[in-house]
Amino acid sequence: MSSTIKTHQVGIIMNGVTGRMGKNQHLLRSIIPIIQQGGVKISPDEVIMPKPVFVGRNPAKLEELAAETGIENWTTDLDKVLADKSYPLYFDALTTEMRYNNVKKAIAAGKHIYCEKPTALNIKDAMELHHLAEKAGVKHGVVQDKLWLPGLVQLRQLMDQEFFGRIFSVKADFGYWVFEGDTVPSQRPSWNYRQEDGGGIILDMFCHWRYVLDNLFGDVKSVACLGATHIPERYEEDGTPYKATADDAAYAIFELEDGVVAQFNSSWATRVRKDDLVTFQVDGTKGSAVAGLRSVWIQPQSATPRPTWNPDIDSPHKFYDDWIKMPPGRDYDNAFKIQWEKFLRHVVNNDPFRWNLHEAAKGVQLAEAGLEAWKERKWVTIKDLM
């Protein structure tokens, strides 16, 4: 005798999914696979099934996306769909400068909120969104995808196993060459390089670094930062040259609790010679590890070489050979998809979900502090947000 599966259908207003991040990570690699797998299972006989509607300003792009995905519901009228009670969840992957007003409007309409970061251009607006959501009684979350990357998940496992001993240093190297757009098309949209449009690597990446540091290595206590605009002229998508007014690189030191020092380089103007587009090296008294997006290499104290300094000859020692690649242990799902499933369980089943708009505001706070540290050439203390 077969049992009947109860389906909790959740209408999701997906605003901004014609853009690169919204389409690729959130729609094609998260929501569509969740639908294809039969929903999110919350009990032996219950599932959550997303029902998305696409929202945007370009009907042609929306129609093309509907044809590509087989999801026919789309609209250019955000106000109309916000008034539709069959869509209780609002998702935002718009440009940063547009997010605050649209999320605020969705909260006023009583929608649960799930959105990309940064949630606002400044800490005042980011905290206002958090307070408004709390007052409205809606559930809210922010994308903090890197916490579910296989490399960082394995780092967390090493920490739980006390592999490192006492951790005292974290070094991150993030970046790649983003083409200017004249002879080779740029891999990122042009607004990323205009401060007046909400661009800049500090605002973008420090929101990531805040939740990575806070969740893995310790709360951030202070920051020193030097930003730079290394490429002063770039080209629009149509080939028109423009002045880059936003920072495309940042060199930062973060002081964490318990005396841990984190050094993070972030750049869209660097060429890659490392294991991945981002690597995190964690050094401790008993061992070290280097994590990329998906892989981790370890070096315990017992296998640490004893180098000697001699710049007059080529080093006979191949230092890469001293590292052991960790076996993955299991298959890993897409990090964005994992967090989507957690948030859907939070909305329907009230499962815990701590990555909310207050956590998002912490990222904006660190970005503001980084910009202040750069401008004022000083260390900036990170205060508790209330």
pLDDT digits (tens, 9 = 90+) for 277-303: 999 999 999 999 999 999 999 999 999
Domain ranges across the chain: 6-145+335-355, 146-330+364-380
Indicate whether 2 pLDDT > 60. no
Nearest Cα to Cα of residue 40 among 10, 63, 67 = 10
Indicate whether 153 pLDDT > 70. yes
Indicate whether 343 pLDDT > 60. yes
Q: What is the mean pLDDT of residues 202-222?
A: 97
What superfamily in CATH does domain 146-330+364-380 come from? Dihydrodipicolinate Reductase; domain 2 (3.30.360.10)
User: One fold for both 6-145+335-355 and 146-330+364-380?
Assistant: no
Positive or negative, the CA dihedral 111, 335, 201, 378 is positive
CB-based burial of residue 289 (10 Å sphere; 0-12 exposed, 13-18 middle, 19+ buried)?
Answer: buried
Residues 6 or more apart whose CB falls under 8 angstroms from that of 222 comprise 254, 255, 379, 380, 381, 382
Residues 6 or more apart whose CB falls under 8 angstroms from that of 254 comprise 209, 213, 220, 222, 223, 261, 262, 263, 264
Indicate whether 1 pLDDT > 80. no
pLDDT digits (tens, 9 = 90+) for 59-116: 999 999 999 999 999 999 999 999 999 999 999 999 999 999 999 999 999 999 999 9
Q: CA of 259: how far to CAs of 170, 222, 254, 255, 285, in Å?
A: 11, 11, 10, 7, 14
**CA Rg value for the chain:** 22
Span 6-145+335-355 CATH architecture:
3-Layer(aba) Sandwich (3.40)
pLDDT band at 52 (very low <50, low <70, confident <90, very high): very high
Indicate whether 179 pLDDT > 80. yes
pLDDT digits (tens, 9 = 90+) for 13-23: 999 999 999 99
Answer whether 150's CB lies under 8 Å from 268's CB: no
Answer whether 347's CB lies under 8 Å from 139's CB: yes
Distance separating alpha carbons of residues 101 and 109, to the nearest angstrom: 12
Positive or negative, the CA dihedral 75, 79, 83, 89 is positive
Token pair of 240, please? 């028109």
